[in-house]
Structure 1
Amino acid sequence: MLWTAPYWSIRLLFVLAAAVSSFPATAQVSKTNPSASSTKVTLGAIRWDNWSLDSPYGQVLADPGLRERVPYYTERLPNGHLGFPGNTERALNADVHYAKAAGLDYFIFGYYLESASWGRNPNSAVALNRALTNFVSLPDKLGIKYALNFNLSFPSRDVPMVSAAISKALLGPDYMRTSDGSAPVFFLVGTMEPWLKGLGGEEGAKAALNDMRNRVKNATGQNLYLVALLFNLPETGPVAHRLGFDATSTYATALGASGKSLSYASCAALAQNAWQAEAKDGAGGFLPTVTLGWDYRPALRDPHEKKSRKPNPDWCQPATDGEWIQQIRDAIEEAANNPRNDRFQSVVLYAWNESSEGGWIQPTLSEGVRRLKVIANAVDRHPTIPPFKLTWPTQIDPKTCAVGSSSISTATADAGCKSPSDAMTIAWPCPPGTQIASDELRQGPSEEGEKIQPIWQERLCVPQER
């Protein structure tokens, strides 16, 4: 989901205009195997992290008919509503293990500058950055890296603050790097015009990017690899390269507003047309985007969304596993074969958690870990995941379950410790390649937004024997 000011209420609808007029109604899925390119091309997954216990956006998913979208961490709150604590440290720890099992290399975190410019509320930015904060604090990320994506435009006076945020991130060991050691930083530039306006036009934007590079170099000794996430690439791509961006990409392949359904093959072909046009006519690096799904109709249930989005969107039909696999492999080949990608061969996956817009990778209530398996099979990456624990609050009333300071096994717990059936919550699944070794219950501290000390379930996941 894409934020504009005020970013707590408005999101952008965008159309990737390149080659919209010509794409096939169907596409054949070949049975090609992953090539050697899959070992050198990195996979980054876009994140949108306004999922919290008090987030109003989650309520658009409170529909049993949307269980394929509802994330694994959803919980039933004491008031009967659903909570979506996707920004907690325990959820980020689970995400790292899921991402590793899928063969991903890095997350692209939407970053919100904690600035008061243009009437923005810095506290809102702090809340939106909480998932990133908790990710960075994890003691073991299994080699999963991250990159920043500045989701909002900013004025020239905020360039020092942008540079400081980048420099702080680069001081840690977990920031993504290009082949020459530079640090990729993404900017959601969109249609270019509002972004340029905030920086005083093309010359101002060019000066801002140069200033940013110099400030970060002086603070960290490291170079930047700047990526512009654009809409309407044929028009905006050349401008981005004039400004000094090293590469271009896009957030997702969105559609029109005619209220029609398109096959996934058609949506995939639309994206590939844009890749090919950029490879032919582009001036710099290019990161192909694989859009796993596009259908924001559920988001229109939210009054704020209804005001800011086209009311009659086109949408992509669900893909088969084979269609996803082929699209991912084609994107990898596109990234590997572009001679201008010598510094950074990478594919952008939309998205880790854009559940209300229609693109997600994370496990969900009805799909489980399906999409993790699809991506792992597409790139033939099946790493061994070390034993770890998933932890989540159950719906059990602490007064009816005699759990003290020590945990008890769910297999031996009495009737008062059985969680009531709820179609909108699940036990957190172990990642592909692992299995359940034990399930235990224990009492634990309350999280933000919870008023009752919950009982927590701890699930130990261990590698499967191969």
Structure 2
Amino acid sequence: MTERAETDGVRRPTGPRTGRPTGRGAAGVVLVGVALVALAGLVVTGVGQAGGADRDAAMLTVTVDANDRHDFRYSVSGPARHDAVLDDDNDRTRPRSVTFTGLGPGRYSVTQARAPGWDLVDATCDDGVSADLATRTATVRLGRRDRVTCTFRPALERPLVGAIRWDAWHDGPVGRAVEYTLASPEWRSRLPWFAEVSPTGAVRARADAPTVAAEEIDRAARLGIDYFAFLWYDSDRAVGSEDEGMMRGLRYYRASPNRDRVKYTVVVDGDRLADPGERATILRDMRDPNWVTVAGRPLIFVGLWADPARTDVEALRAASRAQGTGDPYVVQTVIGASSPSGIQRTVRTAESAGADAVSWYSIAVPSAQGGPYPLLAGTARDAWDRAARLGTPVVPTAMSGWDPRPRVAQPPFWGDSGRSWFRAPTPAELGRHLGEAVDWAATAGAPAVLVYAWNEYDEGGWLAPTLVPDPARQDAIRDALIGRR
């Protein structure tokens, strides 16, 4: 993140800183899957037919609402038996709904097979029937010409884990600045995995390409990252401007064919949220099936260097409900603010803005000079606890590191990020801290975790791989996140 001003001992940013159903009837008749694609919503509906074209026959639709690419298996039992495999993503390989036609009157049970790592949090049918969540079964009674839809809502058993995306790695003013900052041999071990170093020592680190964007998604998915949290900049700037460059990462992500492997949201400052044009663009993106949701609500982080106003948060909520994307889960997000007074202010601001929870972009001790990583991890944990004791929900932020010394040695044009720094974590220390963040969130009932960061290489916080491979670090991240699914 780019920073200049300093308040409450913490630097604050000013500048640049998401099948066809298969089955058999009781007599062994294979159901035929027909994929009908609704391009506007990227919704795939499968139609399975069992029996003849009886006008008096009933129809039963099964829908999965998981906002995930995981395959869920469903079985229908009763006068006729059917099976289907559904998922809820942008891929057309499998549908998210299947409709069984030609059904005779009688009692039917729809059961979701157990999916390791997933809970069934809700299942209802539009005839008013609620499912037995323990058995993952909804039972309906169909009469002649009945049309009933049963919707199943699975959710991951652990909180979702997201990583902040600060996409400075492009051919633009900010991108060239961070290439300069990391050009010194002392810091080249931090260079992104996609960086190149010429024989003369010149550094090129550009992620604004479709192949790199797709590989970033795959690498994050393999580590167990559920969603990216992209920093939001002005969306209407000219090509080549600072803001346009900083938004390229999101643009390339949204255009990637594998984007549904990792969901996304944004981190937007209060001033941009107040802008009707920017808010409208965010709401448009919120309709994307890849926008991450928690308990069916679109997740969004707001705040940073300008606190959100309640009127703007309410306007966001009202517009989201009106467009059918539901009531957003709004997280007041600040930078630093690890002191007791800073946390009290954060909680008061969240309450004033009408936010649902609080979180941090980053957490650090302003006076640390080469402190051990466990001190940084402990500071983060103390911040979660202090905020929770004040009675507000918390989305805990885990710190993958904090060491902005490259910006001190070779400052970018927006300035350095302060003199405070911590020693890099060992793989075991990093894995332990990520794991405790997930466990803390699960115990507190928090729906998500935020990690600083995916790619803040020059500021000292990253989960993404580096040009010089560090397999032990990657294994520790993967074990901490995937091992808790």
TM-score normalised by L of structure 1: 0.65
Distance change >3 Å, CA 84–CA 143, structure 1 → 2? same
Q: Aligned partners of 1:151 and 1:78: how far apart in 2? A: 41
Whether 1:263 and 2:378 are equivalent positions in the alignment is: no
One-letter amino acid of the counterpart of residue 219, structure 1: Q
Query: 1:187 aligns to what?
Result: 302
Deviations 1:112-141 (A, max 9, x none): 12358xxx9994322211110000011122
Q: Contact 1:2–1:11 (CA<8 Å) still a contact in 2?
A: no
Query: 2:420 aligns to what?
Result: 314
User: Of residues 352, 357, 363 in structure 2, which corresponds to 1:247?
Assistant: 357
Whether 1:134 and 2:249 are equivalent positions in the alignment is: no
Between the two proteins, the alignment pairs up a number of residues equal to: 335
Q: Aligned partners of 1:14 and 1:252: how far apart in 2? A: 14
Give the deviation of 1:375 after TM superposition. 1.4
Structure 1 counterpart SS, 2:358: strand
Q: Contact 2:292–2:299 (CA<8 Å) still a contact in 1?
A: yes
Give the deviation of 1:221 after TM superposition. 4.1
Q: Contact 2:183–2:201 (CA<8 Å) still a contact in 1?
A: no
Q: Aligned partners of 1:67 and 1:154: how far apart in 2? A: 34
Whether 1:143 and 2:261 are equivalent positions in the alignment is: yes
User: Of residues 221, 227, 233 in structure 2, which corresponds to 1:112?
Assistant: 233
Query: 1:275 aligns to what?
Result: 384
Q: How well do the aligned residues superpose, as a CA RMSD in angstroms?
A: 3.0
Q: Which moved more, 1:84-93 or 1:44-53?
A: 84-93
Give the deviation of 1:241 after TM superposition. 1.8
RCO (CA 8 Å, sep 6+): is it higher in 1 or 2? 1
Q: Contact 2:404–2:417 (CA<8 Å) still a contact in 1?
A: no
Give the deviation of 1:319 after TM superposition. 1.2
Distance change >3 Å, CA 243–CA 83, structure 1 → 2? same
Q: Aligned partners of 2:280 and 2:476: how far apart in 1? A: 38
Structure 1 counterpart SS, 2:190: coil
Query: 2:326 aligns to what?
Result: 222
Q: Larger Rg: 1 or 2? A: 2
Deviations 1:385-405 (A, max 9, x none): xxxxxxxxxxxxxxxxxxxxx
More strand by share: 2
Distance change >3 Å, CA 146–CA 11, structure 1 → 2? farther
Give the deviation of 1:287 after TM superposition. 0.9
Distance change >3 Å, CA 309–CA 80, structure 1 → 2? closer
Q: Aligned partners of 1:301 and 1:48: how far apart in 2? A: 21
Q: Contact 1:49–1:353 (CA<8 Å) still a contact in 2?
A: yes
Whether 1:208 and 2:317 are equivalent positions in the alignment is: no
Query: 2:453 aligns to what?
Result: 351
Distance change >3 Å, CA 328–CA 216, structure 1 → 2? same
Give the deviation of 1:307 after TM superposition. 4.2
Whether 1:175 and 2:281 are equivalent positions in the alignment is: no
Q: Aligned partners of 2:232 and 2:245: how far apart in 1? A: 11
Distance change >3 Å, CA 307–CA 2, structure 1 → 2? closer
Distance change >3 Å, CA 66–CA 13, structure 1 → 2? farther
Whether 1:84 and 2:205 are equivalent positions in the alignment is: yes
Deviations 1:390-426 (A, max 9, x none): xxxxxxxxxxxxxxxxxxxxxxxxxxxxxxxxxxxxx
Give the deviation of 1:364 after TM superposition. 0.8
Deviations 1:331-360 (A, max 9, x none): 112111114x3xxx2111111100110001
Q: Contact 1:102–1:381 (CA<8 Å) still a contact in 2?
A: no
Q: Aligned partners of 1:287 and 1:238: how far apart in 2? A: 16
Q: Contact 1:163–1:216 (CA<8 Å) still a contact in 2?
A: no
TM-score normalised by L of structure 2: 0.63
Q: Aligned partners of 2:162 and 2:433: how far apart in 1? A: 15
Whether 1:124 and 2:233 are equivalent positions in the alignment is: no
Instruction: Show structure 2 runs of 5+ residues with no match.
Output: 12-116, 120-155
Give the deviation of 1:373 after TM superposition. 1.7
